[in-house]
Amino acid sequence: MNQFTFYNPVKLVFGKESLEQLNDMVKAYSNGHKVLLTYGGGSIKKTGLYDEVMEKLSGFEVFELAGIEPNPRVETVRKGVEIVKAHDIDFIVAVGGGSVIDGTKLIAAASKYDGDAWDIVTRKAQVNDAVPFGTVLTLSATGSEMNSGSVITNWETNEKLGWGSPLVFPKFSLLNPEVLYTLPEHQTVNGIIDSMSHLLEQYFNEADNTEVQDQMISGVLKTVMKTGPIAVKEPENYEARETLMLSSTVALNGFLRLGYVGDWATHNLEHAVSAVYDIAHGAGLAILFPEWMRYVSKQSPARFVKFAEDVFNVEASLSDEEKINYAIDELQNFWTSLGAKQKLSDYGVKAEDLEVFADKTLIYGPFGNFYKLQREDILAIYKAAL
């Protein structure tokens, strides 16, 4: 592995009574009494969580930004920035899943910038300050509640890009597994796939001597595969929800990739698709990840053999090729058993879209840290996934 420094300043409060600490947390990290509450399509009002949050924010003047999309759009972020600047907001509370939190991160950063929020995403502007914020998590998937990354969509230009800054770590995140009971099944499934994909992106890395990280990642992967179907069938199974919630947070809080970056090519491939077609991130990953694995395993098989052994305990008598094929098929079959689709065409994607997708992925040049994808590689993976 490479030399590393691990830093994660997020205060994580996990458990049934976590929301009880919201008022004290906001007081601890804010300098005033004006709070912006950000959330998505309104499900928190149906479940009663909105009322609970508002009760806990008594004593603060609360402004609201509702309607942050599943693929958070810069247009909505701009509305949030306007509210923060117009009312001199001191603190932001994001109530939602990764999309709400990702959008809130950009609101926090762009509110301290004189230009357009999209400049930050496209790296034209550097983040020098941010409004402090905390999160109340309602969906276990992205891990955004304990990291400094964000993905934002520009629907006008059909771009979906990742960005990040140490200044947009949440100050705190409150996680109550009971909040997940009312999730629609497809959101639970996409969350499982998303968190597993984060683990896979980190398993396929460019470093040597990562056995500690390999075994941590393998352990979490196997735990999610064991627990995920239980949560789908029994939405109010507390132990299953608790396990999945912690797994998705750990999957992308930086601790599992100490000393390396991971690959992340498949996320780039998916972002290009959902920038054009409004597909859920997990749904796109379920299609693209197995095809990336099939393609790259032919170029660099050794790591995939180890993956098959670590995660799927393949029989030693099998050939390397058989081990690899078995593991990839088992992974895809698991996602399919949860209800995931296997082809991009199931979402209306057409062959003529693939060149457009490839153009979008290459905005910063060839990508992938484990295996660098060139244009021909990208198109081959997209065609296999179509």
**pLDDT, tens digit only, all 386 positions of the chain:** 899 999 999 999 999 999 999 999 999 999 889 999 999 988 999 999 999 999 999 999 999 999 999 999 999 999 999 999 999 999 999 999 999 999 999 999 999 999 999 999 999 999 999 999 999 999 999 999 999 999 999 999 999 999 999 999 999 999 999 999 999 999 999 999 999 999 999 999 988 999 999 999 999 999 999 999 999 999 999 999 999 999 999 999 999 999 999 999 999 999 999 999 989 999 999 999 999 999 999 999 999 999 999 999 999 999 999 999 999 999 999 999 999 999 999 999 999 999 999 999 999 999 999 999 999 999 999 999 99
**Residue 235 DSSP code:** T
Dihedrals φ, ψ of 36, to 5°?
Answer: -100, 125
pTM score of the predicted model = 0.94
Cα Rg, the chain, nearest whole Å:
20
- Give the orientation angle of helix 375-385 with respect to helix 281-299, to 10 degrees: 120
CA distance 142 to 159: 19
What confidence score (pLDDT) does residue 206 get?
A: 87
Dihedrals φ, ψ of 371, to 5°?
Answer: -140, 120
Dihedrals φ, ψ of 215, to 5°?
Answer: -75, -35
What confidence score (pLDDT) does residue 355 get?
A: 97
CA distance 69 to 84: 19
Answer for the pair 106, 131: CB distance below 8 angstroms, yes or no.
no
Neighbours of 208 (CB within 10 A): 9
CA distance 362 to 320: 32
Answer for the pair 3, 259: CB distance below 8 angstroms, yes or no.
yes
What confidence score (pLDDT) does residue 31 get?
A: 83
Q: For the chain, where are the alpha helices, taking DSSP H only?
A: 22-29, 43-47, 49-56, 74-87, 98-110, 117-121, 185-203, 211-233, 238-251, 265-276, 281-299, 301-312, 320-337, 353-361, 375-385
CA distance 48 to 45: 5
What confidence score (pLDDT) does residue 278 get?
A: 86
Distance spanning both ends of the chain, measured CA to CA: 36
- What are 135's two structure tokens? 């999160």
CA distance 308 to 314: 6
Strands 159-164 and 149-154: antiparallel
Per-residue burial over 249-266, b = 16 or more CB atoms within 10 Å of its CB, e = otherwise: bbbbbbebbbbbebbbbb
224, with CB counted inside 10 A (0-12, 13-18, 19+), is buried
Question: Do you know the residue count of the chain?
Answer: 386
Enumerate domains of the chain plus CATH numbers.
11-179 (3.40.50.1970), 183-385 (1.20.1090.10)
Q: Which residues pair with 137 in a beta bridge?
A: 96
CA distance 93 to 136: 7
What confidence score (pLDDT) does residue 266 get?
A: 97
- What are 370's two structure tokens? 């484990």
Token pair 């926090």 is at which residue? 108
